[in-house]
Amino acid sequence: MTSDNFHHLLLLSSIPGIGHAKIRSLVNKFGSAENVLRAPLHQLVATDGFDQKTAEKILSPSQRDPSFVEDQIKLLDQYHANIVTFWDEEYPENLKNIFDPPAFLFVRGTLSDTDRYSVAVVGTRECTSYGKWVTESLSQELAIRGITVVSGLARGIDTIAHITAIKNGGRTLAVLGSGVDRIYPSENFKLAMDIADHGALISDYPMRTAPDAVNFPGRNRIISGISLGTLIVEAGEKSGALITAEYATEQNREVFAIPGNVNVRQSRGPNRLIKNGAKLVESVDDILVELEHKLMPLTHPVKKEKILQLNNQEQSVYDCVANDPRHIDHISRTAKLSTGETLSYLLNLELMGAVKQLSGKHFVKI
């Protein structure tokens, strides 16, 4: 979208009382924000949900805030951010299908068509060592399968999910409860920049918006809306992660939860969700099975064995690699080969596109 189009859209949004739902309705009818601002009064009044007073407000120059528009465009340029509208191809497909989606998003980074295959991983800021381990394990499994990991950049579970996705070569999206120029918490600034390089920072709040508590329920709604399902790892009884789960249910999306120790307060949220019907997750397969139809292009690729031409030793090593990461020592023991020989064959398989090397000399089938 050009800055001229930004201008009219932001000008329309600067009018008091004209929120995302009204903007969507108006642009759907008139074709663009510019056409809305120039529409005849009688046509605006004839639009569903708009009375004479609201129509007059839209057409009144005194109700518009050009300084807000100028400031937003300047900040978008300064922070290399962009606006993606409901009508753009880049707009997240999953989010487009919820009730009352944002008319536009502020984006720092790049949205991808593959983000339609996404799972939210959220939880408490005060996670246990168990919660950290589970988050790392499942986020890694999702990332290496090409599933985008969505979270909220908060301390704890969110941070671990983002870091793990990036570390394993995956995409990740962070939905903020502030402007994309206002990183919160501040210690996650470097992580936020990494996310922008491996996905995107997203917000429906204008630039300069501070991270206020009232913004986070709306942010949670976007986290669940942009995802096929939401995984709650650990959460207290009043955690914001449970709000995300509630939105996921309202949006007819899957809710997953990790069972935990009944004596640990961080387990109370997910345990309650499971009691109320959330899918209990013990491994990534529990998520993949539930989302199998929607993830089919990712989870049912052409089988490598049918197209690879391997010699006996390569086949032996390949058979010892799995869909979950395995260390080279484990592979060499199983294949009954030396570490050096195994590594040589693994590198050949990697060049063929049959396996992928992860950090720490772990290998996985692709």
CATH number at residue 58: 1.10.150.20
> Is residue 158 domain-shared with residue 265, that is, in the same domain?
yes
Beta strands 254-257 and 362-365, pairing class? unpaired
Q: Which two tokens stand for residue 346?
A: 């693994």
Looking at the fold, whether 309 and 286 belong to one and the same domain comes out as no
pLDDT digits 0-9 by tens, 33-53: 999 999 999 999 999 989 999
State percent of the chain over pLDDT 70: 96
Residue 98 lies in a domain: no
Is the pLDDT score of 303 beyond 60?
no
Mean pLDDT of 223-246: 96
Q: How far is CA 176 from CA 114, 173, 245, 302, 320, in A?
A: 21, 10, 17, 37, 42
Confidence of residue 356 (pLDDT cuts 50, 70, 90): confident
CA 82 to each of CA 54, 64, 106: distance values in angstroms, whole numbers, following the listed order: 29, 22, 6
39 belongs to a structural domain: yes
Name the domain boundary from 298, 316, 346: 298
CATH code: domain of residue 283:
3.40.50.450
pLDDT at res. 300: 55
Q: Give the domain range for residue 332.
A: 304-365
Claim to verify: residue 223 and residue 317 sit in the same structural domain: no
Q: Rounded to the nearest 10 degrees, how much is the dihedral formed by the CA atoms of 179, 107, 222, 184?
A: -40
Instruction: Answer yes or no: do 182 and 245 share one domain.
Output: yes
Whether residue 310 sits in one domain with residue 291: no
Q: What is the pLDDT of residue 351?
A: 85
- 281 and 238 in one domain? yes
Q: The domain that contains 323 carries what CATH number? A: 1.10.10.10
Same domain, 256 and 238: yes
Q: Is residue 134 in some structural domain?
A: yes
Pair (270, 330) in one structural domain: no
Tokens of 210: 């501070």
What's the pLDDT at 324?
A: 76
Coil, strand or helix at 64:
coil
pTM: 0.81
> What integer pLDDT is reported at residue 111 of this predicted model?
97
| Same-domain check for residues 118 and 259 | yes
* Co-location of 150 and 249 in the same domain: yes
* Lowest model confidence (mean pLDDT) among 85-99, 157-171, 195-209, 323-337: 323-337
Domain match, 269 and 323 both: no
**Proportion of the chain above pLDDT 90, given as a percent:** 82
pLDDT tens digit sequence for 308-351: 788 888 999 999 998 878 899 899 989 999 988 999 899 889 88
Average pLDDT over residues 14-36: 96
> What is the pLDDT confidence band of residue 307, given thresholds at 50, 70 and 90?
low
Residue-level pLDDT at 122? 98
Tokens 């005060």 belong to residue: 126
* Residues 214, 236: Cα–Cα separation, whole Å: 19
Q: Which of 264, 298, 332 is the last residue of a domain?
A: 298
Residue 130, in any domain of the structure: yes
Q: How many domains does the chain have?
A: 3
Residue 246 shares a structural domain with residue 148: yes
Confidence band of 304 (pLDDT split at 50, 70, 90): very low
The answer to the question of residue 104 being in a domain is: no
Note the pLDDT tens digit of each residue in 238-283: 899 999 999 999 999 999 999 999 999 999 999 999 999 999 999 9
Q: Is residue 99 domain-resident?
A: no
Q: Which of 275, 298, 321 is the last residue of a domain?
A: 298
- Whether 47 is covered by a domain: the verdict is yes
Does some domain include residue 85?
Answer: no
Which range is least confidently modeled, 156-170, 184-198, 349-363? Answer: 349-363
As a whole number, the mean pLDDT across the chain is 93
